[in-house]
Structure 1
């Protein structure tokens, strides 16, 4: 599963096994509370929490999380 984290600084893709949406949503919310905006460690914390890793790929993600709006969406194919 590939998830893209989208926000104003840059977009980052992370990859790992399949994860239930409710578990992902819970982890995202917890990560938002734990991250340090100055250090910008959101992706690192989330990856550690759900056992995903940051990747570089042109492949379309399965799901996108927009940190500005705090919403998920599926990319258009």
Structure 2
């Protein structure tokens, strides 16, 4: 989740694609907050290992534009 700014969704997908190549458009879902200030991006994928999930989480949570990663 982060501020609803142009390119936020693409940035999230790019970060995740480093660890899980081949993410399709159907695997990505975005939702804006009621006031439109925030956006949540959900990427559905089949993880190959806990290490892969940890790497994705670390990259997302380390990025300055990501406010929250779950």
Q: TM-score higher than 0.5 here?
A: no
TM-score (norm 2): 0.32
The structure whose residues are more often helix, as a share, is: 2
Structure with a larger share of its residues in strand: 1
TM-score (norm 1): 0.30
